[in-house]
Amino acid sequence: MITLSINGLPASVEKGTTVLEAARFLGFPIPTLCHKEGLTPYGACRLCVVEIGEGPGARLVSSCTYPAEEGLKVRTASERVMKARRMIIELLLASCPQSKTIQDLASRHNVRQQRFRQEHENCILCGLCVRMCKEQMMAGAIGFRGRGKNRSIGTPFDMRSEECRLCGGCMQICPACQARCTYTEPERAICGGCANLSPPCLEKEQFTDMMCYMSPCVACEIKKD
Amino acid sequence: MDTERILSIIRSSNGKGGIISILEEIQEEFTYLPEAALRLVAKETERSLADIYGVATFYKAFSLKPRGRHCVSACLGTACHVRGARTIVEEFKEQLHVSPGETTPDKEITFETVNCLGACALGPIVVSDEHYFANVTARGVRDIIQGTKDGTYGSNGRGREDLFSLEVSCPTCNRSLMDKEQYLYDHPAILVNVSMNGKKGRLRISSLYGHFAEIREHDIPNDTIVNLSCPHCSANLRSGPGCVECGAPTASMRVNGGDGVMRICTRTGCSGHMLDLDGEGTGQ
Ligand code: SF4
Ligand code: SF4
Ligand code: SF4
Ligand code: FES
Ligand code: FES
């Protein structure tokens, strides 16, 4: 067992537990975006920052990937943490303002505007879809491609992937495209999150066993007419 | 595409895992990474094609498009940039009629720009196949292109196989001039002292015959005749007949294991190098 202190409260956790898990166990909320139970932590969005250590040695780390250490002192909502978190939310808003998930985060953290150049990306490169596809759907059909400003998500060679099971899991988990599926115009009714994938619903005829997790989505119904 | 060849590349790295080294080898063989090759790699290494594709598109060293027989890269890193690399790149663009990243229509040369090759002090740097050019000027571009087309510097991803390495020693004190500390192109460099107008320094020359890349410690302008001497006994190496290319004096070194003499021109920038294996001093 490892004993650490979170916001002054002592906690004993198993070796291998992350700071995020320990904090949540004690009931301290830490917002996450690229972390989902059942998928390996990835540390992409940095939303889950916490402050560790004390005095001048104190630093910010991503709690979803930081393992609990003996004697570690963690602050989950210090001024420095909140400032960093709000900055991250501003940056997310600057890139994907249409995402319901990000809008909700912004309102919960009282971020009313962002100061950067407004873009309209449909991906924040959180890697959730890639991990979903690989670790839960056992398909490994999509992945990251390129790097730097050319980094994107999609299938190899941008071609219909033979491995894809058309399960829709990637779109279900995507935090950036969820707002898209409420489109009522059928020709625009694609999730857009994984812009390079054809939406499974639109290929339903060829794939009778398709399961889609998007319960409020109406795109499929529109297609039927 | 040669499936057998690719399979043997993959299997020879068997178990050692390194995707990058497999891809490097395939690229060396085919000048690029064909789609079918990536599919084979994924299958054989039991990884998803998405992972392999991710690696292949991440590194700039890999190309998914066929490349030319030769590859010329101009450095646009910070140091080379301030030393005028822009004009060099413009010059290449104009003479080759391609933009960086493209291949000439005759499939001879792929022209690229890179960000720092780690030889900043010698910039602007241009690499043609396996050969590094230091202090490149716009005027020198034409020669580099010609030499590249002639295959002087090797071919894409591969050094010239007909180059061989020489070991030389000082004709006066007989001590070896090979520098085991500094390798150039996988072979110890030849180390001599160089002086000119009271300035002294060291000069390292590649020991590959016919190659002769140099590292100069000082900024010695091209077209200057310098004095080369032995770093052990300080004997002047200048001797013998003039350079066949330009007539300037030559410096000679004894080739180990025989009576041979290697002569190099003492005029900087001159490619006059002669090998004279019977020791008669006539040059070739
Ligand atoms: S729909 Fe295809 S790409 Fe998306 S998670 Fe399922 S298998 Fe992977
Ligand atoms: S497509 Fe969605 S889930 Fe996938 S990396 Fe982008 S934002 Fe994340
Ligand atoms: S049903 Fe909706 S969420 Fe599912 S793939 Fe179609 S458009 Fe996207
Ligand atoms: S949730 Fe921890 S970095 Fe995204
Ligand atoms: S900047 Fe060109 S070699 Fe470093």
Please report the beta strands in B24-156, taking only residues with DSSP state E, as ranges in sequence order.
70-75, 102-103, 109-114, 126-128, 131-133
Distances (CA, A) of A201 to A98, A109, A148, A220, B11: 22, 35, 32, 6, 41
Res. A208 pLDDT band, cuts 50 70 90: low
Residue with the nearest Cα to atom 2 of ligand 2? A174
**A149–B contact, CB cutoff 8 A:** no
Distances (CA, A) of A84 to A49, A50, A71, A90, B214: 8, 9, 24, 10, 51
- State the pLDDT at residue B163: 55
Query: How far away, in angstroms, is A203 Cα from ligand 2 center?
Result: 21
Of these ranges, A217-221, B61-65, B259-263, the one predicted with the greatest mean pLDDT is B61-65
Res. B197 pLDDT band, cuts 50 70 90: confident
Contacts of A129 in chain B (CB under 8 A): none
- State the pLDDT at residue A201: 55
Q: Within a domain: residue B157?
A: no
Last residue of a domain, one of B95, B123, B149: B149
pLDDT at A16 over 50: yes
Distances (CA, A) of B66 to A116, A214, B2, B53: 40, 42, 15, 16
pLDDT at A197 over 50: no
- The tally of domains found in chain B comes to 3
Structure tokens at B56: 């292949």
- Same structural domain for residues B278 and B174? yes
Dihedral angle computed from the Cα positions of residues B105, B107, B108 and B111, in that order, rounded to the nearest 10 degrees? 70
Per cent of chain A over pLDDT 70 is: 79
pLDDT, one tens digit per residue, over A73-95 is 999 999 999 999 999 999 999 99
Q: Which domain holds residue B76?
A: 70-149
Last residue of a domain, one of B149, B180, B208: B149
Distances (CA, A) of B176 to B166, B173, B276: 11, 9, 18
| DSSP H or E stretch at residue B142 | helix B141-149
- Same structural domain for residues B174 and B80? no
**Residues A157, B53: C-beta atoms closer than 8 Å:** yes
Question: In angstroms, how far is CA B67 from the centroid of its own chain?
Answer: 19
Please report the beta strands in chain B, taking only residues with DSSP state E, as ranges in sequence order.
70-75, 102-103, 109-114, 126-128, 131-133, 164-165, 168-169, 178-184, 187-196, 199-205, 208-209, 214-216, 227-229, 238-239, 250-255, 261-265, 273-276
Residue B92: Cβ-neighbour burial (10 angstroms; 0-12, 13-18, 19+): buried
CB of A153 closer than 6 angstroms to any ligand 2 atom: yes
- Same structural domain for residues B222 and B260? yes
Q: Within a domain: residue B154?
A: no
The contacts of residue B166 (CB under 8 Å, 6+ apart) are B207, B208, B209, B255, B256, B262, B275
**Distance from C-alpha of A168 to C-alpha of A175, rounded to nearest angstrom:** 14
pLDDT at A178 over 60: no
Region B111-115: what's the mean pLDDT? 90
DSSP calls for A177-196: SGGGGG---GGG-S--TTTT
pLDDT, one tens digit per residue, over B30-65 is 888 999 999 999 998 889 999 999 999 999 889 898
Lowest mean pLDDT of A69-78, A175-184, B67-76, B206-215, name the range: A175-184
pLDDT at B260 over 60: yes
Give, for ligand 3, the residue of A212, A222, A224 to mutate: max count of ligand atoms closer than 8 Å to Cβ. A212
**Distance from C-alpha of B235 to C-alpha of B245, rounded to nearest angstrom:** 25
pLDDT at A199 over 60: no
- Same structural domain for residues B200 and B259? yes
pLDDT at B166 over 70: yes
Q: Within a domain: residue B54?
A: yes
pLDDT at A117 over 90: yes
pTM of the model: 0.64
ipTM comes to 0.74
Distances (CA, A) of A101 to A32, A87, A88, A200: 11, 16, 14, 22
- Could you tell me how many CB contacts below 8 A there are between chain A and chain B? 37
Region B266-274: what's the mean pLDDT? 72
- Same structural domain for residues B47 and B128? no
Q: Within a domain: residue B65?
A: no
Structure tokens at B242: 């003039």
- Same structural domain for residues B274 and B231? yes
Q: Within a domain: residue B159?
A: no
Q: In 10 A of CB A89, how many CB atoms?
A: 24
- State the pLDDT at residue A187: 41
| Nearest chain A CA: its distance from B51 CA (Å) | 6
Are the CB atoms for B75 and B125 separated by under 8 Å?
A: yes
pLDDT at B17 over 80: no
Which one is predicted more confidently, A218 or B273? B273
- Same structural domain for residues B173 and B270? yes
Per cent of chain B over pLDDT 70 is: 83
Residue A215: Cβ-neighbour burial (10 angstroms; 0-12, 13-18, 19+): exposed
**Residues B52, A156: C-beta atoms closer than 8 Å:** yes
**Residues B58, A146: C-beta atoms closer than 8 Å:** yes
Please report, for chain A, the start and end positions of each structural domain, with discontinuous segments joined by +.
2-108, 127-170, 177-225
Res. B92 pLDDT band, cuts 50 70 90: very high
Taking domain A2-108, whether its CATH number is 3.40.640.10 is answered by no
- Same structural domain for residues B79 and B182? no
**Residues B50, A142: C-beta atoms closer than 8 Å:** yes
- State the pLDDT at residue A213: 52
The contacts of residue B26 (CB under 8 Å, 6+ apart) are B6, B9, B33, B37, B41
- State the pLDDT at residue A211: 53
**Distance from C-alpha of B156 to C-alpha of B109, rounded to nearest angstrom:** 9
Q: Which of A169, A176, A155, A160 is nearest to A100 (CA)?
A: A176
pLDDT, one tens digit per residue, over B221-246 is 777 888 888 988 988 888 767 777 78
Region A28-52: what's the mean pLDDT? 95
pLDDT at A154 over 90: no
Mean pLDDT score of chain B:
82
- State the pLDDT at residue A63: 97
- State the pLDDT at residue B167: 84
